[in-house]
Amino acid sequence: MAQQMTEWNSGLFSCCDSMSTCCYGFWCCPCMACSVAGGFGENRCLPLCDMFSPAITSAIGLPLCVPPAALALRVGLRHRYGIKGSLCKDICTSCFCEWCSYCQMHRELKYRKKHHANVVNMQPAPAGFVAK
């Protein structure tokens, strides 16, 4: 049975919904990005790859390179929790609104942790795998 896709718990620009997240992201964006990576189960230093690469330009609004860590975390989070969206939207969001994206992901992880929301497995079973 296919799981029903859901919406993000908060909008991309819903900083006023959680001022603690917004202030945290505004004053220390790298810290919040690393917190999101850790909360998602990845290495906390993963977002530093974006910050020390040409992708840094996207953080100031010059999308010369898609920030790979921000994009990977956003796509992974969306797939894990069955959130509606597309790769194209994720690329645009990661390029033009990287810090807002991290704030949204931070709020989503806090919401999912608080409400013990179920994880949706969006990965297909390996070829030749037989469930018992």
| Each residue's pLDDT tens digit, 7-26 | 998 888 877 666 665 665 55
pTM: 0.73
Domain-located, residue 30? yes
Q: Is 67 part of a structural domain of the chain? A: yes
Task: Assign 27 a pLDDT band (cuts: 50, 70, 90).
Answer: low
Task: Write out the residue range of the structural domain in which residue 87 sits.
Answer: 17-115
Residue at 66 is within a domain = yes
Residues paired with 6 in a beta bridge: 83
Distance CA 54, CA 83 (A): 29
> Would 98 be classed as within a structural domain?
yes
What's the longest Cα–Cα distance across the chain? 51
The structural domain count of the chain equals 1
Whether pLDDT at 57 is above 80:
no
1 falls within a domain? no
Mean pLDDT for 40-59 is: 76
